[in-house]
Amino acid sequence: MALVVQKYGGSSVADASCIKRVAQRIVATKKAGNDVVVIVSAMGDTTDELLDLAEQVSPLPPARELDMLLTSGERISMALLAMAIANLGHEARSFTGSQAGVITDSTHGKARIIDVTPSRIREAIDQGHIAIVAGFQGVSQDTKDITTLGRGGSDTTAVALAAALEADVCEIYTDVDGIFTADPRIVPPARKIPRISYDEMMEMAACGAKILHLRCVEYARRFNLPIHVRSSFSTKEGTWVVSDPYTDEGTEMEQPIISGVAHDRSEAKITVVGVPDKVGEAASIFKTLADAEINIDMIVQNVSAAATGRTDISFTLPTTDAQTALGALKKIQAQIGYESLLFDDQIGKVSLIGAGMRSHPGVTATFFAALADAGVNIEMISTSEIRISVIVEQDAIDTAVAAAHRAFDLDADQVEAVVYGGTGR
């Protein structure tokens, strides 16, 4: 008997009919002889609707109360799903994140999981029940308040619980048939990837591929937990995220040069103009940003002008953190002595990911040539061992993704990818 943890995103439980279909899939897994634990997101766009409602009531809602509000979406989903399963003749028990033993730090809105103590989930499993857990939420170890894990937090809940329960597999159900070489919404001929490594998937998640959350993949890699990403709208096999995707039952398979092209529209660029070219100035700037809990992505520093002894430092960050960053930097303008700040939120990041590029020269040249031929201008460049990322104008993102996809022969030969559930997860 296997222990299977399944996670269903918002588009998979968007309405009553979707919830009934998901219930049938869960019961089928149970009837196949498996123990089943299910993690659910809020229905459809419920979280966004609750955020809109909060903004109508208060322009700056208290973080604690906002978490209390947002976690209600998942509680609705879990209760309805348990009812649907009961209607099919099987007993299901629903649990909030805190009841499931998801213990976090006390940071509201983007809490991190400290520990998982799923004693009540184990008890439910031992009694033959199907356990339904509200994703995206936990309880603070210090304050005992309800916390949320940030966007994509249900993925992290699922993998963390699967690891704590020593599950055989964690299935992430979404609205596409797996992980594709690009977002099929903007590249219809994108190809489904049968197997991908944790490292490649982490790069794709960090670069904007919304199919899996970055922290979820990090957690899975740490515990060597296989993830199966598949659609809740079909029975097709999806994509396996594993430690060594290029060895299948002892048979070595050819490693692709490029696994996929990811993009991110949620980045902004700040340029600190006229920074005195002295030791420690860059450190002061980025310490200020770190103290404001802002994550920086790309950084570019220009060569200082000989006449002025000043330089410009540009960096990218999440658009949602931009105003906080600008406010923090303005407070240290007199201390640093920089001239001004420039802000641009009409940019996006396009990334090429693949473990095979380690051993194949010419990948960078092909990538840049494809963008040039498509008329796309590159503003910033960043690389890792298995990734090349560029910043481009936001209007050029779709063009850049499609051009890179074609340049590396990633287009599928036959059937176009199907997006079953619209734009949600």
The mean-pLDDT minimum among 93-97, 208-212, 267-271, 303-307 falls in 303-307
Q: Is the pLDDT of residue 212 over 50?
A: yes
Q: How many residues does the chain have?
A: 425
* Segment 12-28, tens digit of pLDDT: 999 999 999 999 999 99
The whole-number pLDDT of residue 249 equals 52
pLDDT bin (cut points 50, 70, 90) of residue 118 is very high
Domain ranges of the chain: 3-250
Q: In the predicted model, what is the mean pLDDT of residues 287-295?
A: 93
On the question of pLDDT at 252 being above 60, the answer is: no
Q: What percentage of residues in the chain have a pLDDT greater than 90?
A: 78
CA distance 2 to 44: 30
> Of the given ranges (56-70, 237-251, 261-275), which has the lowest mean pLDDT?
237-251
Q: Are 376 and 407 in contact (CB under 8 A)?
A: no
Give the model's pLDDT for residue 253: 57
- Report the pLDDT value the prediction gives residue 423, as an integer from 0 to 100: 44
At residue 248, the pLDDT reads 56
Say yes or no to pLDDT of 425 above 60.
no
pLDDT tens-digit readout, 167-205? 999 999 988 899 999 998 889 899 999 999 999 999 998
Q: Give 358 or 252, the one with higher predicted confidence.
A: 358
> What confidence tier does 414 reach under pLDDT thresholds 50, 70, 90?
low
pLDDT confidence of residue 94: 97
- pLDDT at residue 204, as a whole number: 92
pLDDT value at position 5?
Answer: 97
State the pLDDT at residue 250. Answer: 47
Q: Mean pLDDT throughout 297-320?
A: 88
Cβ atoms within 10 Å of 353's Cβ, excluding its own: 27
Q: What six digits make up the tokens of 381?
A: 């460049």
The rounded distance, in Å, linking the Cα atoms of 227 and 230 is 10
Q: Does residue 356 or residue 106 have the better pLDDT?
A: 106
In this prediction, residue 141 carries a pLDDT of 95
pLDDT given at position 210? 79
Domain boundaries 3-250, CATH class: alpha beta
Residue 149 above 80 pLDDT?
Answer: yes
Q: Exposed (0-12), middle (13-18) or buried (19+): which is 40, by Cβ within 10 Å?
A: buried
Residue of 191, 184, 252, 233 lying closest to 413 (CA atoms): 191
Query: Is 72's pLDDT higher than 80?
Result: yes
> In the predicted model, what is the mean pLDDT of residues 293-311?
86
pTM of the model: 0.86
